[in-house]
A and B are shown apart, each in its own frame.
Chain A
Amino acid sequence: MFSRAYKLAVALPPLAWVTLFLLVPYLLMFCYSFWAVASGNVVHQWNLGNYHDLLVKDVYRETLLRSSWIAARVTLFALLLGYPLAYFLSFYAGARKDLFYQLVIIPLWVSYLVRAYAWKTILGTDGVLNTLLQFFHITQHPVDSLLYSPFAVVLTLTHIYTPFVVLPIYAAMEHIPRNLVEASHDLGASPMQTFWRVIFPLSAPGMIAGATFAFVLSLGDFLAPQLLGGPSGIMISNIVVSLFGAAYNWPLGAAISFCILVLVVSLLALAERLEKKWSYS
């Protein structure tokens, strides 16, 4: 069909891009993770000290666990919000489908920072929520625990990543032929039975894709915990940022990054296998 030269010409720019800006930096990072720091300078001396630190020092393991726990909650809440929304959009929105779809997408046009700061003004000590609570005499004093907590991080990340969960589920549902729903009713299944036996299994690949998005993006997030997390809401990426910045310990930062990378890539591989197993077209 196409000549070898043509194929090569088309494939070369993206390949070069990926090699130069993705593979080479990863390789550098991988190398750094086996080096060390001595009196404020990186020493090119191969050793496993960084990985040893990660295993023995509780702070890293705990932060990674907390980050995973935050990401898991974000995933759960985004699914709980996103799945019914996608179901409604696909099956019951009727003529207003396109409008609702746009409404789901519009938040994605607003800068992440703006949305994170918006939650800051809502949850702060003198924020919208506390003012309201006091106005209605639900509390006498402002509730301080709203902002600068894991709760604030989970809330913000759920808000930000729910559209990423809605869209793949919605796409999966749009691909379910409607005559399958009719066939199920025809064979005696009530709408509830039809949902659990037909719609839910057929939308599972979309759910896995959405959940993967939400979990992976939340796990690596560092802005929301930075702005809203406070000391108790610190996530693993904040540690990486500080190691590469103020602490100037690139080798340790690289080691953590590499661990996260392995974790995320295996998650993605697992998700892809599950999606393949549960897709039928």
Chain B
Amino acid sequence: MTSLLSIRNVAKTFGKTQVLRDISLEVAQGEFLTILGESGSGKTTLLRVIAGFEQATSGELWMGGERLDALPPYKRPVNTVFQHYALFPHLTIGDNVGYGLRIAGVSKADTATRVQEALAMVKMTAHAEKKPSKISGGQQQRVALARALVNRPKLLLLDEPLSALDANLRRQMQIELKALQREVGIAFVFITHDQEEAMVMSDRIALLKGGRLEQIATPREIYSRPATSYVAQFIGHTNLLRGNVEHSVARCGSLSWPVQAADGPVALSVRPENVRLASGAAEGSVRFQGVVRQQAFHGATEMVRVECADGQVFLIRLSGEAVGAIGTILPLEFSPEDAVAVRDVEAAG
């Protein structure tokens, strides 16, 4: 994995507000990296720092042995798809797509060919002569994508490009966008607040919280090995157990099991699908009983909220099994290795 863009210790403050704190990460060649975070997490600011619309207060950006942050935005080999597309209203779709090429001094003939190719790639050839106000949001989205990609940037930045689309179109565009990224082989840095979208599309996810990088990993890894309690709760559902480790035994409420960890307070994440109805077959699993309090049917699976005798509430995901009505007592278990120790950011402040 060769590094394309290197973000080193980037911080950004607006007045007294610290928006980005000591962000360091690498974007690999041809990678689909998603920057995920809630609103106010600093994800858009990070994108604007990469594009050059904001200057980092401290830290450096490097691309191919060159300081990217020393260049004005119009000299960076980076293009952006804006959240609200930002198509030029006075130019036709074709002229919008050709804008960057004309600025770069590409010949008229080459510009025409490349614009045609780019429009064909996003299936917008038929609309080349129209003005942006005459096409739908989803179509504007495609044009914005074509306008950025036609310049063959080394890196494409996408600022919540799907957030204005309705749910169905959004799912369709997620698939198209991912396929397109594979096809062109350009690295994408994709901003979103939607964890599902991030999971579906990304090679890696960088999760931001309060301007800090919580974790950067593949979707699979970030799901199964969350670094902090925040990551565990933000990505998918989880049961966060807080307790203590004493002499290599973890105690959370009435539950206890052997762990390999230093003594002291501990937070453990157990995914709902890792809790199952106790069968007695698995050796060494952690067993407990819970009363069904709530059920939500999701088709293939069912999410059940159960309450243990000590008051601890568990969310469990069962597939197929009938669990009985609310109030039923269920025997449950999980394997100790499915309880992943996470850094407890809430407790640590």
Contact = CB atoms under 8 A, between A and B. Distances in A.
A189 B151 CA distance: 12
Given A179-B82, A187-B103, A187-B147, A202 B90 contact: yes
A193 B103 contact: yes
20 contacts: A177-B84, A180-B88, A182-B53, A182-B82, A183-B87, A184-B88, A185-B52, A185-B74, A186-B79, A186-B80, A186-B148, A187-B100, A187-B147, A188-B74, A188-B100, A189-B99, A189-B103, A202-B90, A280-B133, A281-B89
A198 B89 CA distance: 9
Interface string B126-149: 000001010000000000000110
Contact of A186 (B51, B84, B133): B51
B86 interface: yes
A278 interface: yes
A45 interface: no
Contacts of B265: none
B104 interface: yes
A198 B96 CA distance: 11
B100 A280 contact: no
B73 interface: yes
A245 interface: no
A177 B86 contact: yes
B280 interface: no
Interface in B41-69: 51-53
Interface of A: 177, 179-180, 182-190, 193, 197-198, 201-202, 278, 280-281
A180 B84 CA distance: 10
Contacts of A281: 89, 133
Q: When A and B form their complex, which 4 residue pairs have the shortest distance between CB atoms, in order from nearest? A: A280-B89, A187-B100, A183-B86, A179-B86
B155 to A, nearest CB: 12
B90 A278 contact: yes
B90 A185 contact: no
Nearest to B131: A280
Nearest to A180: B86
A190 B74 CA distance: 6
B284 interface: no
Contacts of B99: 184, 187, 189, 197
A187 B106 CA distance: 13
Contacts of B327: none
Contact of A182 (B73, B78, B100): B73
Interface of B: 51-53, 72-75, 78-80, 82, 84, 86-90, 99-100, 103-104, 131, 133, 147-148, 151
A205 to B, nearest CB: 10
| Most chain B CB atoms below 10 A, which of A183, A190, A198, A278 | A183
Nearest to B79: A186
A197 B90 CA distance: 10
Contact of A280 (B90, B104, B151): B90
B45 to A, nearest CB: 14
Contacts of A193: 103
A257 B80 CA distance: 57
Contacts of A198: 88
Contact of B82 (A183, A189, A197): A183
Contacts of B78: 186
Contacts of B104: 188
Contacts of B103: 187-189, 193, 197
A193 B78 CA distance: 18
Given A280-B131, A281-B133, A188 B151 contact: yes
Contacts of A184: 88, 99
Given A179-B82, A179-B84, A281-B133, A186 B89 contact: no
Nearest to A193: B103
Contacts of B73: 182, 185-186
A141 to B, nearest CB: 54
B129 to A, nearest CB: 15
Nearest to A201: B90
A185 B103 CA distance: 10
B72 A185 contact: yes
A186 B74 contact: yes
A224 B207 CA distance: 68
A220 B44 CA distance: 54
Given A185-B73, A186-B51, A190-B74, A202 B79 contact: no
B100 to A, nearest CB: 4
A277 to B, nearest CB: 10
Contacts of B148: 186-187
Contacts of B87: 183
Contacts of A188: 74-75, 100, 103-104, 151
Given A185-B53, A280-B89, 8 more contacts: A177-B84, A177-B86, A183-B80, A183-B87, A187-B151, A197-B103, A201-B90, A281-B89
B306 to A, nearest CB: 49
Contacts of A278: 90
Nearest to B100: A187
A184 B74 CA distance: 8
A197 B99 CA distance: 9
A44 to B, nearest CB: 54
A182 B78 CA distance: 13
Contacts of B53: 182, 185
Contacts of B74: 185-190
Contacts of B131: 280
Contacts of A280: 89-90, 131, 133
Contacts of A177: 84, 86
B51 to A, nearest CB: 6
Contacts of B80: 182-183, 186
Contacts of A179: 82, 84, 86
